[in-house]
Amino acid sequence: DFAMTQSPLSLPVTLGQPASISCRPGQSLVNDIANTYLTWFQQRPGQSPRRLIYKVSNRDSGVPDRFSGSGSGTDFTLNISRVEAEDVGVYYCMQGGHWPPTFGQGTRVEIK
């Protein structure tokens, strides 16, 4: 299966400061020229996953613009420009371009 490696696995952040989560697929992730299926999900405590970012850098409706996604090939990043209390939770990347779909281990974001 297509391994997805996230780092760090735990990320303590000060309110108002930026945060960055890395996701590295084991192989280059390019489905076709128009579609790289790299997705970011947020899972708040006690809740189900919520999609934040799709196809690397497209923000879902209702997602604050402090969240952004970037990257290509084997190096992808989720950035939070200024962490707020409601951002606490676990963040997962997922690849959907190579069967079967696989998730990263998750990065736990907490407030210092």
Partner 1 sequence: EVQLVESGGGLVQPGGSLRLSCAASGFTFTSYAMSWVRQAPGKGLEWVSSISHSGGSTYYADSVQGRFTISRDNSRNTLYVQMNSLRAEDTAIYYCAKEVAGFGTDFDYWGQGTLVTVSS
55: exposed, middle or buried (Cβ count in 10 Å: 0-12, 13-18, 19+) = middle
By CB under 8 A, the residues from 79 to 98 that bind partner 1 are 92, 94, 96-97
2: exposed, middle or buried (Cβ count in 10 Å: 0-12, 13-18, 19+) = middle
Provide, rounded to whole angstroms, the least separation between the CB of residue 87 and partner 1: 18
Give yes or no for residue 50 binding partner 1 (CB under 8 A).
yes
AA letter at 96: G
AA letter at 102: T
Range in contact with partner 1 (rule: CB under 8 A) among 19-27, 41-49, 64-72, 78-86 = 41-49
Of residues 34, 45, 62, 99, which one binds partner 1 by CB under 8 A? 99
Give yes or no for residue 2 binding partner 1 (CB under 8 A).
no
68 torsion bin: left (phi>0), alpha (psi -120 to 50), beta (else): beta
User: Which lies closer to partner 1 via its Cβ, residue 16 or residue 47?
Assistant: 47
Give yes or no for residue 49 binding partner 1 (CB under 8 A).
yes
Give yes or no for residue 69 binding partner 1 (CB under 8 A).
no
Query: Please, what's the b/e burial string for 36-45 (b: 16 or more CB within 10 A of its CB; e: otherwise)?
Result: bbbbbbbeee
Interacting residues toward partner 1 by CB under 8 A: 31, 35, 37, 39, 41, 47-51, 54-55, 60, 92, 94, 96-97, 99-106
